[in-house]
Amino acid sequence: MKKFLLIFLMLAIVCTFSGCGEKVNVEDGKAHVIVSRDFGNERLSEKDVNFSKDATVMEIMEENFDIETAYGGGFINGIDGLKSEFTGMKDKKKIDWFYYVNGILSEVGASDYYISPKDIVIWDYHDWDNNIYGSSIIGAYPLNFINGHDGNVYKTEILYTKDYKKEGNALLEYLKKQGVKDIESMSLEKGDLKNLDSNSIVIGSWEDIKNIDYINEFYKNGSKCGMYFKVDQDIKGLNNKGEVVKLYQKGALITSVVKEYGGAASMWLITGNDGECIKKAVKLLYENPKKVKGKFSVLVTDDEVINIPIKN
């Protein structure tokens, strides 16, 4: 898994630097752009942007932000004065801009990703040292289930343990109303988490799901694949280096990972060590989804919704 994630990271960075994609035809429309730093912990800018047919992410950024490019113009080196600390620097630091379309880290350069109506583009400026990064984030919800990524729109399965059938079905109805067409809800044991042609939303206590091999494999690699938490008797919120920053006696998490290198199908986990907090987290997604907008993952407590990784 470690080697797998390292290859994924390096390919993502190389493609972002160089640009490597094929043109697809899309219609005129409007998209939404969020600019942040430190894994979604600080919102720098946010705006709706209009675009014409066949516009790229690079073009909408050039028209709406003050950007600096590098590597032949295919890589965004700076946004509104905040520049890469790696490219062209003598004392290099692994801090750069990364962009996500509908919650998935793009593997192509900004000049080669063609935008679609209603897409959400999130640019985040963060450290990529120690191969720590997230390839799937929740901050574009629910567009990741509606528009997909780079033309790939997958079936969605909501998979719940026995205590969360009501919440799973409520989330199902909400996502249907938002425009998710191919979606169903079922008990966890009837689903197929390993299906690479579907998104999976898992709802259940950590005690009930922690021993599922597929989930545990991601959890063991923790923050290296975007899971910035640990659960035992307490819930531990981690920073981007995988270090414990805050400890909570009870809470719930909403987090996501891509299922495979190079793919756009994701697995979302809504889990924790407290039933009421888990129900509150699911309810957040169908009653107040703006609370997760632009965030990488969240930790939900009785009175807070906290972005994770947590900034020191």
**Across 31-56, average pLDDT:** 96
DSSP 153-197: --EEEEEE-GGGHHHHHHHHHHHHHHT--SEEEEEGGGS-TT-TT
**In the chain, where the domains are located:** 2-131, 143-308
**Spatial distance between the Cα atoms of 264 and 278, rounded to a whole number of angstroms:** 26
Range in 160-164, 193-197, 211-215, 222-226 the model is least confident about: 222-226
- At 25 the pLDDT is 39
Structure tokens at 191: 């689903």
Written as six digits, the tokens of 69 are 């490019």
Specify the pLDDT at position 224. Answer: 78
Q: In the prediction, which pLDDT does 64 show? A: 97
DSSP element (H, E) containing 281: helix 275-287
Give, for 254, the enclosing helix (H) or strand (E).
Answer: strand 252-258
The residue-averaged pLDDT of 116-140 equals 89
What does the pLDDT read at residue 133?
59
**Confidence at residue 72, expressed as pLDDT on a 0 to 100 scale:** 82
φ/ψ of residue 210, rounded to 5? -65, -25
- The CATH code of the domain at 143-308 is 3.30.379
Q: In 3-state terms, what secondary structure has residue 242?
A: coil
Higher local confidence (pLDDT), 100 or 89: 100
Please tell me if the domain spanning 2-131 has the same topology as the one spanning 143-308. Answer: no
Report the alpha-carbon angle 160-162-168, nearest 5: 35
Residues in the chain: 312
Which pLDDT belongs to residue 23?
A: 37
Integer Cα distance of 127 and 37 in angstroms: 9
Note the pLDDT of residue 27. 54
Q: Is residue 4 helix, strand or coil?
A: helix
CA dihedral sign of residues 151, 36, 255, 223: positive
What 8-state DSSP symbol labels residue 71? Answer: G
| pLDDT one-digit tens code per residue, 201-233 | 999 999 999 999 999 999 998 877 889 999 988
Identify residue 143 by its one-letter amino acid code: L
Domain 2-131: give its CATH code.
Answer: 2.170.130.30
**Residue 75 has what pLDDT?**
85
Average pLDDT on 168-186 reads 98
Q: Rounded distance, CA 10 to CA 7, Å?
A: 5
pTM reported for the whole predicted model: 0.90
Q: Residues 89-117: what's their mean pLDDT?
A: 93
